[in-house]
Structure 1
Amino acid sequence: MTTPMPPDNPIQDLLDFIDRSPSPWHAAASVEAAVQTFQFARLDETAKWQLQAGGRYYVVRDDSSIVLFVLGSKAPVEAGFKIVGAHTDSPGFRIRPHAATVSSGFARLGVEIYGGPILATFTDRDLSLAGRISYLDEHGKLAYRLVRFDQPLLRLPNLAIHMNRGVNEDGLKLHKQNELPPLFAQLTGEQLPQPYFLALLEQASGIPAAQILSWDLAVYDTQKGAVWGANREFYADSQIDNLASCHAGLQALLADTVMNDAHSTLVCAFFDHEEIGSQSHVGAGGSFLADTLQRICIATGMDREDTARALANSFLISADMAHGYHPNFPAAYDADHRVYVNQGPVIKSNANRRYSTESVSAAQFIRWCEDAEVPYQRYSHRSDLPCGSTIGPIASAKLGIRSVDVGCPMWAMHSVRESAGVDDHDYMIRVLKRFFSD
């Protein structure tokens, strides 16, 4: 089977992918669009699956989580599953159900904080809205549609230093209830904020306001991604954590030599809700991946014991970004475990299993790096600081599959504008291709 060529410029392709994906719902749609030219067939979770040897498939749950797989030349009971897991969501703001309010003639949007964003980075940015709306179609049936405002629609202006004299010494502190609603319009006396907001949704979606029932809307930064640095060795964009890992896994899976020569069943699983704990029907703590793997086993004629054997012979790479050393803040890092941008993928370890890595899985990843001629680094968080986590421990425990947590080093994780290294993204794609090809 012939397949399209991979992109000539992986970083520009990554930036374009991120810029097409301002919300988890758009991220899943971007992945779906990318695999259409590679002859992937969409499966319906409510239908009976008929799978063909060597087939390429994907399944979407609730528009924001997606699992892709390529059936290998050997049955899963013989060769297992090789899985790359990542997540489609990023920290930020989500719009409340009663969205719009007015204060002194200025319309604002009520927001809730999603995950753990660096709040101050959202100030003085050209922000807008993207996500999904639910509505009644012309037949009175419930339907869904992606919606995105391309133009800057919102802003969270800073308070002038003349009224906040200690901001440079104390840092910018925003009251989460009162000071986070972004401004989006100046209304006349007869205009009501909520109908005005619904009219904007109608304009953006083409759905009459009276038919719109609810929404899942994220605030996003409209600034496009960019390559920067004297040698163009860095890149910046929103949502690098963790759309860069989704992109790397996708590019590795779509490599011609990977798909056409696979012995194991290859899987990319990209979940929503990682930033808020993964405990949902679309998150890594839900049944989505387990259901998909089980149904693959059933469709390929395996019984329960064969399924257990297949999982025991499988491996999960949890790909999520890592904390690159920042020379301005050396005290934030364990001196013996600093990892550097553009010096290779990072193997992340934590004794309390905030990461899924243990010695065997780390050694296996090291072997794949060496085979791919890719440098690697080892990271451990400072013992006096709380450590973040990933989908790795959750999915590994749920499935009983050995797992390693890895990621590319980056700066400003959970900022509205993050940065990482150009070389590292290429390194990650190369080692994931080696993993799929092993």
Structure 2
Amino acid sequence: MSEQYIRDALIDFLNASPTPYHATAQIAQMLVDKGFSELKEDEFWDLTLGQRYYFVRSDSTIVGFVWGLDNSVSKGIRLVGAHTDSPCIKLKPQPEKNIKGYQQLGIEVYGGALLNPWFDRDLSLAGKVCFLRDSGELTCTCINYRDPIAVIPSLAIHLDREANKKRSINPQTDMNPILFQGSNDFSLRTMLLEKLHEDGISDAKEVLDFDLSFYDTQGANTIGLHQEFLASARLDNLLSSFVGMHALANADNQYTSIMVCNDHEEVGSQSDIGALGTVVKDLLARLYPQEQERQVAIRRSLMLSVDNAHGIHPNYVNRHDENHGPQLNAGPVLKFDANQSYATSSHSAAFVKQLASMEPKVPVQTYVTRADMRCGSTIGPLTSSQIGIKTLDLGVATFAMHSIRELAGKDDINYLHRLLSRFYNAEKVAISG
């Protein structure tokens, strides 16, 4: 499979995944196309060795796994984790606002979004809508307007002479998108009902609730004089989710391998579908119902928590430790933190470095934040503490993390894919200590 194919497939995936619901549906279809069978968590499972399965929880967390032919506890489990959510702006439950004849929608900020880049963008709306059919059946489905239907205009510099020196943003008052100019009898639920009808759901009767986000309609693209960069929304962390699932989908069926893409990472993971929930724990209980056997299997396993890292920005070099400034297009980054915001240990780092050395042309880098700054965190430490599995945090270097548009190195996509593919096909992943 060519490197160009994987990059093109990632771009298509990013463009088709404006929300975690769409990303999960796209991943599920990719797994189905690769021969994975869907399981339901509210049903009993009858698994067959060597077969491939997946399940979805609450439409935005997905787990794919291979139940290995050699599923003995001595071989351990190859677990990779990522997340489907990204910082964004979401609609409030009753968002309609009409000010001076401009119909706006009230928003709240999801996660640690970089707010300035949201202004003056061509925005569309997507997410999940729950509605009643004519029969009385309650149904939920994904919608996506695709076309630019809203904008958050900046205030002209003539009215804010200090904008280029100091600018603070109040999301409650400054970031409500303009939808159209007109009367104040607008109903969002009526608009959504019309959208459902346009999408072919003719028996949709009443919209009861929704989870909708705005997104930038500018698609993912390779940029740079030599086309060496990938620019897109939601690279954190759909890049890792896609590459990880693609590696799993093409993994050998000899060993037990798992890929989990949790929702709610950007807001702390404290939910039934987040990393602090029971998704992985419940799966392991089904795979190894005998408790002591499960504990032995876990301690002989390894998790790679794959989430983007901060590349050293040429305009802000002093924001990095002088010995730890990851470059774009220079390989996956192993992330360290003495305070355990990242779960990497010397044992897990050494193993992955050895793994990378087995795969031609896969360099690895290291990252640790400055001693006078605090780093972010990932699902790695959370999952590790929940189930007791050794874990390493890594990801590709990026610029503008949590912006409406982020930047990664094109070559790093393939470096990461080769490393994760090697990991899924490793004979053993047990680490001493």
Return 351-360 or 172-181, whichever deviates more.
172-181
Cα offset, 1:76, TM superposition:
4.4
Letter in 2 for 1:265: T
Contact preservation (8 Å) 2:3, 2:414: no
Aligned to 1:418: 406
Amino-acid identity (%): 38
Q: Distance in 2 between matches of 1:102 and 1:42?
A: 45
Task: State the 1:7 CA deviation.
Answer: 7.2
Q: Which letter maps to 1:272?
A: D
**What secondary structure does 1:9 align onto?**
helix
Q: RMSD across aligned C-alpha pairs, in angstroms? A: 1.6
Match of 2:186 in 1: 192
Does 1:357 pair with 2:344? yes
Q: Is the 8 A contact 1:122 1:416 kept in 2?
A: yes
- TM-score when normalising by structure 1: 0.94
Deviations 1:137-196 (A, max 9, x none): 3332321101111100110011111111111111x422121111111111236x334455
The Cα shift of 1:209 comes to 6.9
Q: Given the superposition, is the C-alpha separation of residues 359 and 54 from structure 1 closer, same or farther in structure 2, using an over 3 Å criterion?
A: same
Q: CA deviation at 1:398?
A: 0.5
Q: Which of 274, 280, 287 is 1:289 aligned to?
A: 280
Q: Which residue of 1 aligns with 2:383?
A: 395
Are the counterparts in 2 of residues 149 and 204 from structure 1 also a CA contact under 8 Å?
A: no
Contact 2:264 2:274 in 1 (8 A): yes
The question of whether the paired residues in 1 share the 8 Å contact of 2:342 and 2:381 is answered with yes
Is the alpha carbon distance of 1:6 and 1:53 closer, same or farther for their aligned partners in structure 2, counting shifts above 3 Å? Answer: farther
2:132/2:205 contact within 8 Å kept: no
Q: Which residue identity does 2:226 align to in structure 1? A: N
Equivalent residue for 2:354, pick from 327, 344, 367: 367
Residue in 1 that maps onto 2:15: 19
**What residue in structure 2 maps to residue 36 of structure 1?**
32
Map of 1:166-245 to 2, 5 A cutoff?
166-170=162-166, 172-188=167-183, 191-194=185-188, 197-199=191-193, 201-202=195-196, 205=199, 206=201, 210-245=205-240
TM-score (norm 2): 0.95
Asked if 1:407 corresponds to 2:395, the answer is: yes
| Residue of 317, 320, 333 corresponding to 1:333 | 320
- Partner of 2:210, secondary structure, is strand
Shift of 1:93: 0.6
Q: What is the DSSP-based 3-state SS (H/G/I as helix, E as strand, rest coil) of the residue aligned with 1:181?
A: coil
Distance verdict in 2 for CA 1:152–1:185, change over 3 Å: same
The secondary structure found in structure 2 opposite 1:353 is coil
**Distance (whole Å) between structure 2 residues aligned to residue 428 and residue 195 of structure 1:** 42
Contact 2:131 2:204 in 1 (8 A): no
Partner of 1:104: 100
The yes-or-no answer on 1:314 pairing with 2:301 is yes
3-state DSSP class of the match of 2:171?
Answer: coil
Equivalent residue number for residue 431 of structure 2: none
Structure 1, unaligned runs of 5 or more: none
Task: Point out where structure 2 has 5 or more consecutive residues left out of the alignment.
Answer: 427-433
Q: Secondary structure at the match of 1:211?
A: strand
